[in-house]
């Protein structure tokens, strides 16, 4: 029997965290290619360290996107994040670009040809999850951890809180009673800050953001409220720690409250099922919960490189379901084509909508008018209800 009373913790990292800087640059490259050619292929990784940015990977797209253009994209991404520090500056950092053409061996497996439909860009397993813990149908610990950092970043960008710098982390521990979150037992926020600020001053800057994000009465005891627990945090970002694309998968997904696949999202075009199928699984799981068919839903799919159909589809309603799980698996396959092409067309993923996903989670966000976060829509809920009426 599942435990109903326990503590659970999730963490988030800001857009200025070194790994997230890399995710942002890689996804800005994806956007540039898809904006120029919707069927472009992109698999680009980024590394950052003290005043240095390195891009590597493979692409297939217009020749107008040159290495010089990619360097400009990287610098602009860093500028938008807000890095203008001696150890990492959007203007002064050295940028190296090692991006080449996509392997023809990979291309022949992915591309549609003759009677062959477009195949998956790689083998792998992908998961999606949804639950009733928050309005976004996300697990509460990661939802609040993201929102604390997002609120701080918004205040930094607007100038309302000039003492904050881009690099930050949060960690939220919630107490569950009867299987539901009821309050925080500890909160950790570490944020890079201006040299003139004391640790106590930073603590009081951070406090209102936490209070505004958490539900009323959920604040942890004062002794369990940790802000920059090591003290001074002036040197941060890529100057303080090397960053790489794809190292924050648990932050990008469900904060450890649900399984996730082994592949990262950022830097990949939507033919890569690491990304697109994970989005599809979240979309289906969220619609299952929104339709009232379950309080919790986990979905897994699997693929083989070059093969269009998924090899498996698995649904787990965690004992909260109102419908038969095997029947639900069949219905989900009927309401959405889970081939790479079907996912891409259903969610309209061939658009430059990815740089915005690189921080504060790929899930639990609001769908946007231009198609951003389309996988967060609940437009299948009525159809799912009808299937089980």
Q: Which residues pair with 21 in a beta bridge?
A: none
Report pLDDT digits (tens) over 325-337.
999 999 999 999 9
Q: Cα separation of 24 and 42, whole Å? A: 14
Question: Which residue matches tokens 């699997």?
Answer: 302
Enumerate domains of the chain plus CATH numbers: 6-14+140-235 (3.30.300.10), 18-104 (3.30.300.10), 124-132+246-387 (3.30.300.10)
Task: Output the pTM of the full model.
Answer: 0.95
- Measured in residues, the chain has a length of 389
Q: What rounded mean pLDDT belongs to the chain?
A: 95
Among left, alpha and beta (phi > 0; psi -120 to 50; other), residue 57 is left
168 is in an annotated binding site: yes
Q: What is the pLDDT of residue 115?
A: 47
Whole-number pLDDT of residue 103? 66
Question: Annotation-wise, does 79 bind a ligand?
Answer: no
Name the one residue in this structure whose structure tokens are 């680009």. Answer: 44
Percent of the chain residues topping a pLDDT of 90 = 91
- pLDDT the model gives residue 279: 98
- Is 45 flagged in the annotation as binding? yes
Q: Please indicate if the annotation marks 116 as binding a ligand.
A: no
**pLDDT given for residue 122 in this prediction:** 80
> Does the annotation list 241 as a binding residue?
yes
Is 300:314 a contact under the CB 8 Å cutoff?
yes
How many CB atoms are located within 10 Å of the residue 286 CB?
27
Residue 37, marked binder? no
pLDDT of residue 147 exceeding 90, the answer is: yes
pLDDT at 113 exceeding the cut of 60: no
Packing angle between helix 18-36 and helix 67-81, nearest 10 degrees?
Answer: 130
């Amino acid at each position: 029997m599942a435990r109903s009373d326990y503590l659970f913790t999730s963490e988030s990292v800001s857009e200025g965290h070194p790994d997230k800087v890399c995710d942002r640059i890689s996804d800005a490259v994806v956007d540039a290619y898809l904006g120029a050619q919707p069927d472009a292929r992109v698999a680009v990784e980024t590394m950052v360290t003290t005043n240095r940015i390195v891009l590597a990977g493979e692409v297939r797209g217009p020749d107008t996107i040159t290495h010089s253009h990619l360097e400009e994209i990287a610098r602009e991404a860093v500028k938008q994040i807000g890095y203008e520090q001696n150890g990492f500056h959007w203007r002064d950092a050295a940028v190296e670009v090692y991006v080449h053409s996509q392997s023809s061996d990979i291309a022949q497996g992915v591309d549609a040809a003759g009677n062959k439909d477009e195949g998956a860009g790689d083998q792998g397993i992908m998961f999606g999850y949804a639950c009733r813990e928050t309005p976004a149908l996300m697990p509460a610990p990661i939802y609040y951890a993201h929102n604390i950092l997002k609120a701080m970043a918004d205040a930094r960008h607007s100038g309302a809180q000039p003492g904050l710098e881009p690099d930050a982390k949060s960690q939220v521990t919630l107490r569950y009673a009867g299987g539901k979150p009821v309050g925080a037992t500890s909160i950790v926020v570490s944020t890079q800050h201006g040299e003139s600020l004391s640790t106590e001053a930073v603590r009081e800057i951070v406090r209102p953001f936490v209070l505004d994000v958490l539900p009323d009465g959920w604040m942890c005891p004062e002794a369990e409220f940790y802000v920059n627990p090591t003290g001074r945090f002036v040197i941060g970002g890529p100057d303080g720690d090397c960053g790489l694309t794809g190292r924050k998968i648990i932050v990008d997904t469900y904060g450890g409250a649900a399984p996730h696949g082994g592949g990262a999202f950022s830097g990949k075009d939507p033919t890569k099922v690491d990304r697109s199928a994970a989005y599809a699984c979240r979309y289906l799981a969220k619609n299952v919960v929104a339709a009232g068919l379950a309080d919790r839903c986990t979905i897994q799919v699997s693929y083989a490189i070059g093969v269009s159909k998924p090899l498996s589809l698995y649904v787990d309603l965690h004992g909260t379901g109102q419908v038969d799980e095997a029947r639900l698996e069949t219905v989900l396959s009927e309401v959405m084509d889970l081939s790479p092409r079907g996912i891409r067309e259903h969610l309209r993923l061939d658009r430059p909508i990815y740089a915005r996903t690189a921080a504060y989670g790929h899930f639990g966000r609001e769908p946007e008018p231009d198609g951003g976060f389309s996988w967060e829509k609940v437009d299948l809920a009525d159809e799912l209800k009808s299937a089980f009426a």
